Chain A
Amino acid sequence: MSEATSSREPSSHDPAITGSERAADEAIAAVTTAFPGVESSVFRGQRRLVVPVERSFTLLESLKEAGFDLLVDVSCVDYLEYRGAKHRFGLVYLLASTATNARLTVRVFVDEPVEGDDSCPVVRSVVPLWEGANWLEREVWDLFGIRFEGHPDLRRLVMPEEFAAHPLRKDYPLQGRGERHNFPVLTRDRS
């Protein structure tokens, strides 16, 4: 998140605010009073919350109870080369409500543990809340290397099982490290 983020809370009397945005604002107000330390911001009409990683699950749980029944997306951003970034990874949970059409973005920032090279950041899985998170979290594990604690089946989703790297990390090159050409060659004589 950058300096440009507007932290102005729009008042609910503003006529430009639609019903769905008002519902999102009410949910944010309820959550920020229940969870002190949660920051909220608005950019282009989109409501966002930044949550500490240790409380992300309970906050998402309370948001689900508050009516956000549709988990639109779980993804991740690697902030390795991002100007002004304080953390390495930022998870993105996009929530929506099928009743009020409110939308909410929940950000959870995590860092690589410093001890040991092969250790990965760990976040609690939200599969118990939304079944749809299953494959989305597998994809984040595959491409970014973030472990989800409590996930029923955390395997790689898109890359081959024996693939070693996490390709969407910023320190992984676009052309890869030669994995794509490590195959036997079939010639006419041999086939």
Chain B
Amino acid sequence: MSIATTEFDVATPAERSEDYLWTLNFGPQHPATHTTLRLVLKLEGERVVDAMPEMGYLHSGFEKIGEHLTFNQYVTVTDRMNYISPMANNVAWHEAVERLLGIDLTPRCKYIRVIVAELARISDHLLCNGAVGLDTGAFTFFLYAFYQREVIYDIFETLCGARFTNSYTRVGGASQDFTPLVIEKIRTFLKTFPKTLDDMERLLTRNRIFVDRTKGVGVLSKADATNRSATGPVARASGVTRDLRKDEPYLAYRDFDFKVCCASAGDCYARYLVRMAEMRESLKIVSQALENLPSGPVNVGIDQRTALPTKKQVYSTIEGTISHFELSMANRGFEVPHEESYAAIEAPNGELGFYVVGDGGENAYRARCRPPSVLHFAIFPQLIRGHTLSDVVAVLGSLNIIAAELDR
């Protein structure tokens, strides 16, 4: 096997006669790709005539392994899918499984999932915008962003023991309840983060170099965004108002007051602005959810037979003991209907959904993930045509392509 496994021929017959064009290989190991993806660029001087994206450099068989793990085990694998915001993947996966099972979560669990998903959105946008800043020359901005990510890591570590790959949710609930310490840490974050966000905006939003490098670069029109299945901040920066939190309120999003952040320019700068604005809206959601956090249990009751009962129930009731025993034993877990369903959440990157097929057993028969990154990466050649080579990194960064979600 050699490295050049495929002969790329990106030229049209008319261009093939223009032999002054030259081909540049970009990736799969390149600092500005952040992850493992490959572009074959066709250049005329410094201008990009065409680009041929190539992926699969991190294809690890996520969907195949989903057919061999139980519904609770697979959550560890979803952590590694969009590894910038693992919590959002956990919520999306169990949202789909619970849709298939027809479970209605407890109010407290819904609020907790909203809080962790919004914190994940903040940390995702921090890294994405920080990396755009890094690639366009603003290293300080990146350090500011990463420090706040560490604060969110710390909250998650206090919550569930893992700072990065959390595996937090369970079918019908979550692995841990919020403790007073977690709530206190989130409150501190809510107080301190707006100040950093202001600092970050002052650093970059009106920075001449940054604005010149991103404004008018990689423009995606509204019609194209819909036709090419773009979702999330990429689509909203082009004027598509679709946001699943508003349009199909899942979990408890109906209860909160927040805005859908949109822009109409559709360029890299608009995508940056949408992400910055979404962080502020997420903060609003988190603070509303935290102040109105319902009391009561996190997991659904014993009668649903999906989530583990509490220690008190196990030791003091016979139903709790039986349920705990059955759920812990192999081949004695809960059964799913012989059916299939799809559920999606508004992940930081766009619509992240799972199409789950159950065959009555304790594993999914098929666990299809609908990854936003694939569709965004497919748009890339159209966005970069006619721009210069240095714009490649700005456009790639603003699309926020995560290879593990791209290839799965």
Contacts and interface: CB of A to CB of B under 8 A. Distances in A.
Which among A71, A78, A132, A133 has the greatest number of chain B C-beta atoms within 10 A?
Answer: A132
A160 B338 contact: no
A92 B242 CA distance: 22
B161 interface: no
B228 interface: yes
Contacts of A191: none
Interface residues of B, number: 49
A157 interface: yes
A156 B368 CA distance: 18
B93 to A, nearest CB: 15
Contacts of B240: 98
B56 A160 contact: yes
A174 B65 contact: yes
A59 interface: no
Given A83-B360, A158-B56, A168 B374 contact: no
Contacts of A132: 227-230, 375, 378
B227 A131 contact: yes
Which secondary structure characterizes the binding site on chain A? loop
Interface string A150-162: 0000001111111
A42 to B, nearest CB: 11
A70 B229 contact: yes
A11 interface: no
A139 B374 contact: yes
Contacts of B365: 77, 82
Contacts of A105: 342
A96 B284 CA distance: 28
A134 interface: yes
Contacts, number: 119
Interface stretch (B136-144, B257-265, B321-329, B349-357): B349-357
A: contact size bracket = 35 or more
A101 B227 CA distance: 15
Nearest to B382: A131
Given A46-B342, A101-B248, A132-B378, A157 B55 contact: yes
B5 A174 contact: no
B375 A135 contact: yes
A5 B339 contact: yes
A4 B339 contact: yes
A66 interface: no
A15 interface: no
23 contacts: A2-B337, A5-B339, A70-B226, A70-B229, A72-B229, A72-B370, A73-B342, A73-B370, A75-B355, A77-B366, A92-B368, A98-B226, A101-B242, A101-B248, A132-B227, A135-B374, A158-B407, A158-B408, A161-B5, A162-B5, A167-B64, A174-B61, A174-B65
Interface of A: 2-5, 20, 43-44, 46, 69-73, 75, 77-78, 81-84, 92, 94, 98, 101, 103, 105, 130-136, 139, 143, 156-162, 167-168, 174, 182-183
Given A5-B339, A43-B341, 18 more contacts: A2-B339, A72-B229, A81-B359, A83-B360, A84-B338, A94-B342, A94-B353, A94-B370, A103-B248, A105-B342, A130-B229, A131-B227, A132-B227, A135-B378, A158-B408, A160-B1, A168-B64, A174-B65
Interface of B: 1, 5-6, 55-56, 59, 61, 63-65, 67-68, 99-100, 102, 224, 226-230, 240-242, 247-248, 337-342, 344, 351, 353, 355, 357, 359-360, 365-366, 368, 370, 374-375, 377-378, 407-408
